[in-house]
Structure formats: structure tokens, C-alpha cells
Amino acid sequence: MMADDLIRVLVVDDVEDDYIITRDLLREVDERRFVVDWIPTYDAALMAIERRQHDIYLIDYGLGLRDGVQLLREARAQGSDAPMILFTNNNNKQIDLEAMKAGAVDYLIKGEIDARLLERSIRYAIEREQALIKLRESEERYRSVVNNIMEVIFQTDAAGVLTFVNPAWTEITGHRIEDTIGRSILDFIHPGDRKRKEEMFMSLVQREMNDCRQEIRYQTASSGSRWMLVYGRAELSANGEFTGVSGTLTDISSHKRIEAELNRYVDQLTALRKVDAEVSSSLDIGYVISVALDTALRLSNANAGFIALTEDERGQLTLGTAIGQFPDTLEEHLRSGTGIIGRVMDKRQAELVPNLRADKEYIELAADARASISIPLISQTREQLIGLLHLESPRPERFTPGIFEFLKLITARIAVAIDNARLYQITRQQLAELQALYAQVSALEQIKTDMIRIAAHDLRNPLNIVTGYMDILEDVLAETLTTQQRGFFDMMRRSTSRMQKITTDILSLERIEAMQRVGVGATTVDLYELVERAYRDHRDQSIGKKQNFTLNAPMTVAKVRGDSAQLYEAVVNLITNAIRYTPEGGKIAVQLGRESEIIVFEVHDTGYGVPEDQQAQLFRPFFRARSDETNGIDGTGLGLHLVKNIIERHHGIMRFHSVHGQGSTFGFALPLMT
């Protein structure tokens, strides 16, 4: 059916009455509207076909001195691909065959035509052309083959019994039409393809699809088989019931032969892949180029060849390996950079020279050589020339364009293998240097870790001694201390307390980093219970500062994967920071909730807030935000850094927002266990 539901028909007939009969038959068709034009002469018809103003051409066989088959041939020769149907007055098989060979899509006998047959033939012809267009789009590389394939038009009933096939069926399969009609289409399918054909037919019956395409083998009358591209479309009645299948069978046996040829190329590629694997598995340049040259010689049937490699940044060639009779001056020729080889290296383009004697730059190398192939070896990673493959043969016919293209493909892999072998020595040296450097860094890291651990542990005992004797000294001197001296004792007590907090934080951070390196401590943790416990543990501290301290946790279960002790330490750190940096009478809200597949913990306060210019450094170790309001508050600068390490180890992210003078929100989000 045309896009505008209008089919433009040109009748080419030297008898006007026959045109009128054809026009009236088409007017009887209810499903379509036709515009029917008439041309009585051969030359006028040829010009009209060339103008391409009609969708289909109905051509009478008898056109005066020339006939319709001649018109078909000439129209096709001019490039017309429009569907054409040949009319004749009698059933002449020879004319039928000539018409089909000339490009007719159908052959109709005037006395046997009725409106339905004519309409159906036109419809099938147009549908066949549309199918060919789609086929050409999907198989452009085989267009020259497809354009010459004769197609079978067929129709079945709802049970798959053939009710119509056109004469091309006999031409392609050898089965007579009278022996075909009334039999199941499956009777003509190759046994190996019948199941697929049944599935295709059932998909149309069950309306799973409106049309489909499949490649299927049909059996011929001579017990052979032909490959067909089957296009089938479900036919429906006016009330939407399935009535059968109509479509086309395109002989793609030639296509399949080409495909088989391509498969042979694939087999060759598979074999070459094995060679490629062998070459790539070795990092010995001598072995790589020897195997590569041997492979290239066998594939091309060349009698001589060599691989030369560049040894410096100037790209000067030196001989790597050679097979065949070459003169002693070959090395000198390679260094000179002249002749065909020099030209290929300069242009960095492969060359097939089918006639060496006709090339003005040819310098004789192998004896009796008549043709050559030269392909530069280019590093794909560095885009540098690394060498050249050169082959020569006394038989030019062996160096076909196909072999040339194939060798270029192989040479690209050879270049990779050579480049890898060359880089191997450099890589080994760099690896050794990196391993030595890594060992040094690891040793330094261990020294750092040991020093931190020793320093933190060794500081605790002296600090405990200092704190103890300081308390004793204050008690002994209690009655004699002045107010200023008591202030000194308070300052010393705060300083020792701060030092103890620093050592505790350092040890906690070191413990977390160690656990992250070895991957231990991960269990199922109920974050709700953990947060609720932390809230209870610090409620009295908040009440002591007359703060409004609340917990909002609508979830009763919040399971995450992690280390309970570390997560508790992170939660406590954020809660104590809020209490410490919120003045008396302020508000602190601890919240726990769910957002999609994550669990979110946040502490909101109305405290001092963090100045904007200091917020970017807030999670760095030993950094403390400073403002007039917080200068007197003790802290180590490790707390938030410690929390960030814990949360990132648990595959979470930190949340932070602060406005100086208004308050802050600190929290984190963790993936929720499902």
C-alpha cells in the first residue's frame, strides 16, 4: 500500500481497448484507488519509464515492430528499477522466461486476468520492490548479486497450504506450479530448516509480529537445495482474523556462496590469530620478527622478504631478519632511505607495486623480482615508525589487492608485538626501580607507623605521672596558692588533658587505617541502637549546659555493614562537637532517617558555626576552625578527620553545612543493608 493510498499505473499497449479493459478491472477493486495512464508506442513508453512518474508499468508483449520484452531490457539497461508486469495474449513459456530474465516481476495472460488477479499481481510487484529496497539497505555489499535475483511470490492459507506461486518458483526450484499448489509450504523446506520455518509461521499466526525475514533452504526438484531469503507477511480478513501468509522468496544461493567465501577468510583470520598469539606471547624481538616474516611469506606466496627496524629517532632502518636471496648491499640501501622503501617510510603508507620495472625509483634487491609489497610498521601507542615489512615475488599475480589488504591487517599486529618486545626491557627496568622505591616507601611508612604508635604510647605514661603529681602538688599547696597560681594549675591540667586526647585520637586513627588495610571488623550494625545509645550517654552533658537536646529517629531498625566500635566513635564525635560548640541555652537535634537506599545520620545545632573561609579545610588532620567565640574551646583538630576516615572506609559520604553565627549540620550517609 502506497503512503498516500494511491497507485500510479502506466499501461503500455498499442490497442486502446485493452487499456480500457485494464482500467475498468482496476476500478472494480475496492481496497485501492488507481490512477491509470496509457501510452501506445514503444519510444514514448521508454521515455515515460525514464521519467519515473509511475509506481508500476503494465507492458503488452506486442508493440508493433518491437515487443515488450525488448522494452523491459532497454528500460533496465537505462537504470530503471520500477516493477514491471508483462501482458501477453497466449501462454508461451519461452516468452515467460524471457520476460523474467529481462526484469519482469510477473507474467499475465490477458484472457485470464480478472480484477483480483491483476490487483494482487500489482500489489505483490510493489511489495517486492519495497522488500528489495530494504534488502539493499541491509545488504549493500551484495547489491550487485541481489539486483539480478529472480523472486518467487507466494501465498498460503491459514494452515500453511500454498494457494499461489508465480512462475519464478519453477525457474528457481524446478517444481511445477500444478504440483505445488495445494501442498504445505513445509513440504518444500529442507529438513534441517523445517523447525525454524514452523516457528516463523506460528509467530505470524499468533500475531507476535506482522512480518518477518529468515534465511531458509528450499529443496529443488533435482533433490538439491537453494538458499532463500523468505519475507512473509500476515494476511488478515476485514474483521482482523488471520487468513494466511503472503510474501517473497529471494534466491540468495550466490549470496551464500559469497558468505562461504567470507567464512573461509574468517577461518584464515582464526589461523592467523593463533600465529598472532604466538608472536605476542614472546618478548624476544628476534623471535617475533622471524615468526612474523615467515607468516607473511606463507600468506602472500612471496619468494623473498625482510623486516627492518628503526634504531634511532631519525627512523634509520637496520636489517632485522631476511628470507631469500638479497645482495650484500641491502644494509647500505636501508640506511640510505632511497627507492621504494624510502618512499614508503617517508609517506608512512603501504604500497603494492605490481610492476617493479615500471617504477622509476625501484632499486633491484631480490633476483628476478617483478612485484613488491612494502608496509611500514607503526607503533599504535606512540604513533612512531618502528620498522618495515618488505616482500618481493617474481609472479605479480600472487600479490592481489586482497592479499595486500590482508597483510596490512597482519602487519598492524606485528607492529604491536615488536613494540611490546621493545618496551619490555624498558618496562622491566622501570619495574625494578618502582619495586625498589616501593620497598623504600613501605619501610618509611612502617617507620612512621611505629614512631606514631611508640610516641602515643610513650606519651601516656609520662602524662599520667605529670597529672598525678600535679594533683598531689595542688593538694599539698592548696592553702598557700594564690588565685593566679590556681589558674596556672588549671592551665596545666587542660594542657595535659588535651595531650591525652591527642594521643587517643592518633591511636584511633592509626587503628582505623590498619583495619582498612587488612579489611577486618565488618559486621551487621544496627545504627538505630548505636545512635540511641550515644544520645543517652551524652544527654547529661548537654543538660549541664542547659541545651535543648533532642533525638528524632523514626526508624526502629537501620542495618548497615561495618565496624560497630568505629561507627559509635564517629557518632559520638559529631554529638560531642555539637555540645562543645553550642552555647548554653542552644538547641541540638540528633536525627536518623532513610533516603531511598541509604541511611542518613545528622546533628543540627544552633552553635557558633564555621567561618566560610575555613570550611574547605575542616576535615584536614590537626586543623581547627578559629573564631572569636571558639578560641577558648579545647580540641585536637583530629576529630572530624577521624570521622571522615571511618565513614569513607564504610563506603559512605560526609554531610556538612554551616553558617557562621547561626549553627552547623554535621552528618553522614551510609548504604543501607537490604
DSSP string, 342-375: HHHHHHT--EEES-GGG-TT----STT--EEEEE
54 and 195 belong to one structural domain: no
Count of other CB atoms within 10 angstroms of residue 200: 19
Is residue 432 one of the residues assigned to a domain?
no
Q: Are 670 and 560 in contact (CB under 8 A)?
A: yes
Rounded to 5 degrees, φ, ψ at 391 are: -125, 145
| CATH (domain of 212) | 3.30.450.20
Query: Mean pLDDT per segment of 10 residues, for the chain of length 674 residues?
Result: 70 88 82 82 89 89 86 88 86 82 85 84 83 69 43 90 91 92 92 87 84 89 89 89 90 81 67 66 80 84 90 77 88 87 89 90 86 88 84 90 84 80 74 79 60 56 71 78 78 72 64 52 85 91 92 84 88 92 93 91 94 89 80 74 89 93 94 84
208 and 269 belong to one structural domain: no
| CATH (domain of 276) | 3.30.450.40
Relative to beta strand 371-378, strand 351-353 is antiparallel
Q: Which residues pair with 352 in a beta bridge?
A: 373
175 and 247 belong to one structural domain: yes
The separation between CA 136 and the C-alpha centre of its own chain, rounded to angstroms, equals: 26
Domain total of the chain? 4
**CA–CA distance, 573 with 121 (Å, rounded to integer):** 86
190 and 283 belong to one structural domain: no
At residue 20, what is the residue type? I
Between the CA of residue 58 and those of 51, 121, 130, 330, what are the distances in Å? 16, 10, 18, 72
207 and 228 belong to one structural domain: yes
Is residue 482 one of the residues assigned to a domain?
no
Grid coordinates in use for 635? 580540641
Which pTM was predicted?
0.33
Q: Are 537 and 531 in contact (CB under 8 A)?
A: no
**Residue where one domain finishes, among candidates 141, 168, 193:** 141
The domain containing residue 223 runs over which residues? Answer: 149-251
**CA–CA distance, 274 with 291 (Å, rounded to integer):** 12
Beta carbons within 8 Å of 424's beta carbon, 6+ residues apart: 283
**Closest to 110 (Cα-Cα) out of 37, 48, 21:** 21
Buried b (16+ CB within 10 A) or exposed e, 243-271: ebbbbbbbbbbebbeeeeeeeeeeeeeee
351 and 246 belong to one structural domain: no
161 and 136 belong to one structural domain: no
**CA–CA distance, 77 with 663 (Å, rounded to integer):** 87
Rounded to 5 degrees, φ, ψ at 374 are: -125, 125
Rounded to 5 degrees, φ, ψ at 261 are: -65, -40
561 and 587 belong to one structural domain: yes
**CA–CA distance, 13 with 36 (Å, rounded to integer):** 12
Beta carbons within 8 Å of 3's beta carbon, 6+ residues apart: none
279 and 360 belong to one structural domain: yes
pLDDT score recorded for residue 262: 73
Buried b (16+ CB within 10 A) or exposed e, 648-661: ebbebebebebebe
**CA–CA distance, 64 with 341 (Å, rounded to integer):** 66
Is residue 592 one of the residues assigned to a domain?
yes
**CA–CA distance, 170 with 175 (Å, rounded to integer):** 5
Is residue 491 one of the residues assigned to a domain?
no
Taking the alpha carbons at both ends of the chain, their separation in whole angstroms is: 56
**CA–CA distance, 83 with 85 (Å, rounded to integer):** 7
| CATH (domain of 18) | 3.40.50.2300
136 and 155 belong to one structural domain: no
Is residue 655 one of the residues assigned to a domain?
yes
Is residue 30 one of the residues assigned to a domain?
yes
**CA–CA distance, 624 with 304 (Å, rounded to integer):** 77
133 and 59 belong to one structural domain: yes
Buried b (16+ CB within 10 A) or exposed e, 11-33: bbbeeeebbebbbebbeebeeee
Buried b (16+ CB within 10 A) or exposed e, 123-152: bbbbbbbebbeebeeeeeebeebbeebbbb
Beta carbons within 8 Å of 368's beta carbon, 6+ residues apart: 394
Grid coordinates in use for 372? 613488491
Task: Give the 3-state secondary structure of residue 637.
Answer: coil
pLDDT score recorded for residue 571: 94
Beta carbons within 8 Å of 149's beta carbon, 6+ residues apart: 250, 251, 252, 254
Helical H segments across 253-307, by residue range: 253-281, 285-300
Q: Give the dihedral sign, CA 368/373/374/380.
A: negative
DSSP notation for 511-555 = HHHHHHHHT---EEEEHHHHHHHHHHHTHHHHHHTT-EEEEE---
| CATH (domain of 522) | 3.30.565.10
Is residue 402 one of the residues assigned to a domain?
yes
Is residue 62 one of the residues assigned to a domain?
yes
330 and 279 belong to one structural domain: yes
**Sheet containing strand 663-671, strands side by side:** 548-552, 587-595, 598-605, 663-671, 653-659
pLDDT score recorded for residue 146: 33
